Structure 1
């Protein structure tokens, strides 16, 4: 199924798909998606019955219902690898049957590295406003040259355009874009910088700012807080909690606090089904626990009844006429129970507990900063006269606003940078392992996890390597799938396994 047409609310004509479907990068679809669009209860509701989704031939959703309503903010939760990101990509790429009048915006990747400024990059996303402003400028020029009989027609067109621009808040566009960027950590000067001057994480923030600025009817966000500092996370949580009351928000996040602060509903993705809960994440946990407790009691009662009836039938089925009749009655009761459908056992999602081999014991301190100063220019030092040490039992969280030098400090620890003054002294047997958000796709994704790990550790027998992967949540078929088809969570599990087996004295991320 190709991309569907989308029409911005307020437009009378359907536009071309390239102008209406807002996706931050071109997506080559590996999806197969089927479903029947139900006539929605309200204008901006989306209900897809008999909804099924597969990814590279693997079934993710089977004959379920996808349902989201205007004015609601949904958090999508589920185990790693169940297909959360695949569902978002399917919805965002136009594969799913969504009503034509609903404009969809899915943030799939960071903005390109270009000469355009961060602020202009955000403003540029509103193609309808830009088109209207261009038309207004052209008509204004024509009006100056027009005869009286033509002027009336041009004035009428201009009035229609200005009315639409007012509806789009065109006059406040730059102020709104700047405010959103500021909330995501861009000060006035940073907003003027070209996108090519930013790292991938910062360009991802710009992509997020574009999504918030365009105010689509259906906004889809996949882990939007991944590249944000704490201050920006708090701002985004507050901003999304007041999201478009006529629109729909669907997001994936691993932060319970964020889901609690933003979401009005939770969708639980489990066993190839979508299950719906009202309330935020905490309410979902309570309701699900109560539901599963009730299910567990019903299942136990039914199984006890079945066991008792089977024992009675086996014991008395060939006894006296009276006992045989009672046994026959119990057979019929048992058959009715089975035809009516028995309560299934509560499904227990597999918990993955990472195991990291202990590193070699090293005498403390394993890393020392002695009178360390550093700056990228002599007149602007990020650090001055730092004095601290790290031991094997240290567990350090490095927090602070953007631009203060958190990543720089990690680079000094990893010896990727040398101090301007002072000395960084590591233990002579200290080993590092570094994990970051971008590492997951910086490997050969045509390999499967087993091939990749065997390449890194050729001395480890295949069966032992399979056991390693299984302990990190990659078991069965996924061990032999191309890594390009794995979920982000599975890729990160692979990387934790890779780094952990080096027995690092000092892991960092």
Structure 2
């Protein structure tokens, strides 16, 4: 293929040397920046049109297309780049060589000959456009490297209540019930809650549910920051951030949450040291006696055992409990934050998706533990089985308001459906009644004998309460494209595979597993058992130490990593994200792809960083399925998804004609998808014929043996 220099020489033989230097200088300096033929045309099109009167705009655009193809071919061939052995200093080169300064001039040094055949104003406009484009690119690049966007902040406001204020000021309010009335919550210029009420009775466990992006997490943050009025004597603990890693042991980190116990132990240590040193004022013995009495009253000696039980239930072995917090990964530090909250026993415990960082075993333990919780819990969760086990009430966030339902999640679904049916029936009955009255009014409006009756009917219409039609939430639909050919099995196989990161700790020994296009395999096991490692071996990202990985030559895997959402480019919109991953397609195609996962309208052009966790997951799904894989490997795909989307995901996987391997802790999704259950642990993978029920029975038996039940 001809170079752009040869194309210009051939197409514009009469171009003068100065303009030739200008055009080639533009193409040479900005070759990597041009993303389309339109950008090249904007930069040099006007100039080239002036050079030859025989060529119209379409002719010049076609020539620009040829040069664009050449530039792309050149930029993609990195082998053609020549590296200089040493830097060249132009000042010295021009000063100590036979080169004339004019010969070394580039676009930045050019002087324009007044006798040029090209319109100088047009040339200046072309230069200005190029300069503006380059500045815009530089600005966009600096934004991407400058760090995360500065996002809008959430805020809350609440109508004043003089009675509550007086009661709070007097110190007479001893109730641990929480009543937050007539409050608003917004995020930037978006209203999340308007005129909402929230009543939490002490000792009850509330599940907060609703679609992604409606403000559940924001509401918890406003409560924990006391931006909403909560009596000052009520202690609040919000499990939101992971524990900071330092030299503190895990067990000690949990014990330090009991500030009363820690303060008494510190005072005891100081007083004992004074007595032993002989420096005493005679009051130490009496004060020590008081401290011992208080320590006995709060059962301080039992605290280490209680903390150890909580840590063990959340998966920390005896050895791990003695490790320093800095040695744990982010997921384990989040578990440690949860352990600290459970140990501290606040009056109001706020949990945001606590099951996200837990395996099935730890989730079952947490369900059992929270069922005996004495104070109040408000938990955001999209795990319906967890809510069925834990929640005594459900708080439903929709249409910028909150509704409370008695009972667990299943009872909430039934009651809500019945309430919606009644609401629709009442609305339809009222509409019929209104129409009946309106017919009478229209018929006798101009009848003088019926004037009083018409007026009466009009007043009746005015007094009728205005019922609104039923607002149905949009159904979430997920589809995985499956227009591909059937592959002959086995399409993915591991044979006698050994794998380890270090020889002292083997992950898998003599492992043999296989999957085909009909497979619906769910993998479970404790955190650290090797589930993600197994997936990466199946993907081919990790090479077995011994054994063979076989994959069909036409196998095309779509992989959803459990940290996939965190790895998205946050400073661009969802449309721009797909354009970066799959360039060259029309914007409508990106929008259509995102719309299939509920990211449409304004959501598609907002920065990814401003989306909720569930919305980011949907963007990740849209990105994963854009390439039309014929096999999916999904690692914890339900984290952050709302229940409707999890349900839609399960239905999509059921209908998908390719193979599926799924790692999940979500019981609902496992039951919907699973045909084979693999339990990962002890250096191997075991198939459980009885499915998830048998696996739960195994775990419950372990709890009984370990004294958790």
TM-score range, shorter chain: 0.7 to 0.9
* 1:182-234 superposed Cα distances (whole Å, 9 cap, x missing partner): 10111112222333333322222111111111111111111111121111111
How many angstroms apart in 2 are the aligned matches of 1:329 and 1:450? Answer: 58
User: Which of 227, 231, 245 lines up with 1:99 in the alignment?
Assistant: 231
Q: Is the 8 A contact 2:152 2:188 kept in 1?
A: no
Give the drift of 1:147.
Answer: 7.9
Residue 198 (1) aligns with residue 328 (2) = yes
When residues 228 and 159 of structure 1 are mapped into structure 2, their CA distance, relative to the original with a 3 A threshold, is same
Q: Could you tell me which runs of 5 or more consecutive residues in structure 2 were left unpaired when the two chains were aligned.
A: 1-150, 636-709
Distance 1:43 1:270, change over 3 A: same
Q: What RMSD, in angstroms, separates the aligned Cα atoms of the two structures?
A: 2.4
Pick closer, same or farther for the CA change 1:140–1:117 going to 2, 3 Å: closer
- CA deviations 1:355-410 (Å, max 9, x no partner) are 22226325232212122232344465443333332222322100123443222211
Once residues 189 and 153 of structure 2 are traced to their aligned partners in structure 1, the CA distance between those partners, rounded to angstroms, is: 8
Secondary structure of the structure 2 residue equivalent to 1:190: helix
Residues 97-496 of structure 1: matches in 2 within 5 Å? Answer: 97-144=229-276, 150-152=281-283, 154-243=284-373, 245=374, 247-318=375-446, 320-337=447-464, 341-358=465-482, 360-364=484-488, 365-378=490-503, 381-496=506-621
The Cα of 1:53 is off from its aligned counterpart by 0.6
TM-score by length of 2: 0.63
- Tell me how far apart the structure 2 counterparts of residues 396 and 110 of structure 1 sit (CA, whole Å): 32
Which shifted more, 298-307 or 324-333? 324-333
Aligned position for 2:104: none
Q: Distance in 1 between matches of 2:404 and 2:174?
A: 19
Query: Aligned equivalents of 2:449 and 2:494: distance in 1?
Result: 90
TM-score between both structures, scaled by the size of structure 1? 0.87
Q: Is the 8 A contact 1:359 1:504 kept in 2?
A: no
The offset of 1:334, in angstroms, is: 1.1
Contact persistence 1:56–1:485 (CA under 8 A): no
Secondary structure at the residue paired with 1:398?
strand
Residue in structure 2 matched with residue 70 of structure 1 by the alignment: 202
Change (3 A) 1:335 1:117: same
* Cα gap change, 1:267 to 1:406, in 2 (>3 Å): same
CA distance in 1, matches of 2:589, 2:210: 29
Aligned equivalents of 1:374, 1:201: Cα separation in 2: 23
Change (3 A) 1:164 1:45: farther
Partner of 1:79: 211
What pairs up with 1:24-103 in 2 under 5 angstroms? 30-35=153-158, 36=160, 38=164, 43-103=175-235
Structure 1 SS opposite 2:524: coil
Residues of 2 paired with 1:299 and 1:222: CA distance? 36
The structure 1 segments of at least 4 consecutive aligned residues displaced by more than 6 Å after TM superposition are none
Of 387-396 and 70-79, the range deviating more from structure 2: 387-396
Alpha-carbon spacing, 1:165–1:437, altered in 2? closer, same or farther (3 Å): farther
Distance 1:317 1:29 in 2: 55
Give the total of aligned pairs: 474
Q: Is the 8 A contact 1:453 1:465 kept in 2?
A: yes
Deviations 1:252-293 (A, max 9, x none): 111111111111111111111011111211222222222222
Cα deviation for residue 177 of structure 1 reads 1.2
Q: Distance in 2 between matches of 1:294 and 1:309?
A: 22
**Distance in 1, Cα, partners of 2:627 & 2:260:** 53
Higher CA-based Rg: 2
CA shift at 1:175, angstroms?
1.1
Q: Is the 8 A contact 2:207 2:393 kept in 1?
A: yes
- The alignment partner of 1:94 has SS state of coil
How big is each residue's C-alpha offset from its partner over 1:34-73, in whole Å with a ceiling of 9 and x where there is no partner? 1246469852111122111112231111111122121111
Higher normalized helix content (fraction of residues): 2
Shift of residue 344, structure 1, vs aligned partner: 1.9
CA separation of 1:88 and 1:436: change in aligned 2, threshold 3 A:
farther
Are residues 298 and 215 of structure 1, via their aligned partners in 2, closer, same or farther at CA, if it must alter by over 3 Å? same
Displacement after TM superposition at 1:146 (Å): 6.8
